[in-house]
Amino acid sequence: MHRAGEGTSGRLPDAFLRPGSASFVDFLADHAPEMLPGRRATAHGTAGAVNPAELAPHATTIVAVTFGEPGAPASGVVMAGDRRATMGSMIANRDMEKVFPADEYSAVGIAGTAGIAVEVVRLFQLELEHYEKIEGSLLSLDGKANRLGTMIRGNLPLAMQGLAVVPLFAGYDLDRGNGRIFSYDVTGGRYEERDHHSVGSGSIFARGALKKLWKPGLSAEDAVHVVVEALFDAADDDSATGGPDTMRRIFPVVATVTADGYRRVPEDELEQLVEQIVAQRRERGSVA
Amino acid sequence: MTMPFYVSPEQLMKDRADFARKGIARGRSVVVLAYDEGIAFATVNSSRALHKISEIYDRIGFAAVGKYNEFENLRVAGVRYADLRGYSYDRSDVTARGLANAYAQTLGTVFITESKPLEVELVVAEVGVTSAQDQIYRLTYDGTVADEHGFVVMGGQAEQLGRRVEEAWRPEMSLGEVLRLAVGVLGAGEGGGPAAPAGAAGAAGAGPSAGKGTTAAAGKAGAAGATGAGGAGAGAAGAAPLEVSQLEVAVLERSRPRRSFRRLTGQVLAGLLADGDAPSADAPSADAPTAGEPAAGASGKPKGTDKPKASAKPIAPEEPETPEEPDDGPDPQQGD
Question: Best residue in A133, A137, A262 to probe B by mutation, most B CBs within 10 Å?
Answer: A133
Give me the residues paired with residue A106 across strands: A103, A171
Burial environment of residue B46 by CB neighbours within 10 A (0 to 12, 13 to 18, 19 or more): middle
Mean pLDDT for chain B? 74
Contact A134 B55 (CB under 8 A): no
User: Which residue does chain B place closest to A133, by CA atoms?
Assistant: B55
Lowest-confidence segment of B176-180, B189-193, B229-233, B235-239 by average pLDDT: B229-233
Question: Best residue in A1, A9, A16 to probe B by mutation, most B CBs within 10 Å?
Answer: A16
Helix (H, G, I), strand (E, B) or coil at A82: coil
Say whether pLDDT at B283 is over 50. no
Contact B84 A4 (CB under 8 A): yes
Chain A residues within 8 A of B105 when measuring between CB atoms: 9-12
- Asked if B13 contacts B109 with a C-beta cutoff of 8 angstroms, the reply is no
Name, in order, each residue with C-beta under 8 angstroms of A143's C-beta and a sequence gap of 6 or more: none
Is the full-model pTM beyond 0.90? no
Say whether pLDDT at B217 is over 90. no
What is the CA angle B222-B224-B227, rounded to 5? 135
What is residue B326's predicted lDDT score, i.e. its pLDDT? 41
Say whether pLDDT at B202 is over 60. no
Torsion region of A126: left, alpha or beta (phi above 0 gives left; psi -120 to 50 gives alpha): alpha
Q: Higher pLDDT residue, B265 or B194? A: B265
Question: Across the interface, which of B76, B84, B109 has its CB nearest the CB of A11?
Answer: B109
As a three-state string, the secondary structure of B204-237 is HHHHHHHHHHHHHHHHHHCCHHHHHHHHHHHHHH
Say whether pLDDT at B214 is over 60. no
Q: How far is the C-alpha of A228 from the C-alpha of A279, rounded, in Å?
A: 14
Chain B residues within 8 A of A136 when measuring between CB atoms: 49, 51, 54
Distance from CA of B19 to the nearest CA of A (A): 22
Instruction: Identify which of A135, A136, A145, A130 has the alpha carbon closest to the alpha carbon of residue A179.
Output: A145
What are the helix (H) ranges across chain B?
A: 9-25, 68-88, 96-113, 158-168, 175-192, 195-201, 203-218, 224-238, 266-274, 287-292, 294-297, 301-306, 315-318
Q: Higher pLDDT residue, B206 or A65? A: A65
Cα distances from B282 to residues A58, B180, B234, B274, in angstroms, run: 61, 6, 22, 12
- B124-163 pLDDT, tens digit each: 999 999 999 999 999 999 999 999 999 999 998 899 999 9
Helix (H, G, I), strand (E, B) or coil at B270: helix
Q: How far is the C-alpha of B49 from the C-alpha of B70, rounded, in Å?
A: 16
Cα distances from B320 to residues B205, B209, B246, in angstroms, run: 10, 8, 26
- Asked if A219 contacts A67 with a C-beta cutoff of 8 angstroms, the reply is yes
What is residue A285's predicted lDDT score, i.e. its pLDDT? 73
- B3-12 pLDDT, tens digit each: 678 889 899 8
Instruction: Identify which of A88, A112, A109 has the alpha carbon closest to the alpha carbon of residue A100.
Output: A109
Q: Higher pLDDT residue, B163 or B323? A: B163
- Greatest Cα pair distance, chain B, in angstroms, is 71
List residues of chain B with CB under 8 Å from any CB of chain A: 49, 51, 54-56, 73-74, 76-81, 83-89, 98, 101-103, 105-106, 108-109, 259
- Asked if A96 contacts A84 with a C-beta cutoff of 8 angstroms, the reply is yes
Q: How far is the C-alpha of B158 from the C-alpha of B34, rounded, in Å?
A: 17
Residues of A involved in catalysis = 60
Question: Best residue in B83, B84, B122 to probe A by mutation, most A CBs within 10 Å?
Answer: B84
Distance from CA of A91 to the nearest CA of B (A): 28
Residues of chain A under the 50 pLDDT cut: 1-2, 4-5
Amino acid at B207: G
Instruction: Identify which of B180, B73, B179 has the alpha carbon closest to the alpha carbon of residue B119.
Output: B73
Distance from CA of B215 to the nearest CA of A (A): 28
- Asked if B327 contacts B68 with a C-beta cutoff of 8 angstroms, the reply is no
Q: Higher pLDDT residue, A66 or B47? A: A66
- A43-100 pLDDT, tens digit each: 555 555 566 667 778 878 999 999 998 878 889 999 999 999 999 888 999 999 999 9
Contact B84 A5 (CB under 8 A): yes
Dihedrals phi, psi of B139, to nearest 5 degrees: -120, 130
Q: How far is the C-alpha of B327 from the C-alpha of B205, rounded, in Å?
A: 18
Span B211-221, average pLDDT: 38
Distance from CA of A66 to the nearest CA of B (A): 27
Domains, chain A, in order of start with CATH, read: 56-284 (3.60.20.10)
- Asked if A204 contacts A61 with a C-beta cutoff of 8 angstroms, the reply is no
Q: How far is the C-alpha of A254 from the C-alpha of A79, rounded, in Å?
A: 6
Question: Across the interface, which of B49, B85, B102 has its CB nearest the CB of A11?
Answer: B102
Give me the sheet containing A76-81, strands edge to edge: A196-199, A62-67, A76-81, A253-258, A261-264
Say whether pLDDT at B303 is over 80. no
Question: Across the interface, which of A3, A5, A129 has its CB nearest the CB of B102?
Answer: A5
- B96-131 pLDDT, tens digit each: 999 999 999 999 999 999 889 999 999 999 999 999
Distance from CA of B251 to the nearest CA of A (A): 15
Q: Higher pLDDT residue, B38 or A3? A: B38
Burial environment of residue A136 by CB neighbours within 10 A (0 to 12, 13 to 18, 19 or more): middle
Say whether pLDDT at B175 is over 80. yes
Helix (H, G, I), strand (E, B) or coil at B260: coil
- In this prediction the ipTM stands at 0.88
Contact A134 B81 (CB under 8 A): no
Helix (H, G, I), strand (E, B) or coil at B151: strand
Contact B86 A5 (CB under 8 A): no
Q: Following DSSP, what letter does each residue of B69-128 receive, concatenated?
A: HHHHHHHHHHHHHHHHHHHHS-GGG--HHHHHHHHHHHHHHHHHHSSS---EEEEEEE--
Indicate the pLDDT class of residue B240, thresholds 50, 70 and 90.
Answer: low
Question: Across the interface, which of A16, A19, A32 has its CB nearest the CB of B81?
Answer: A16
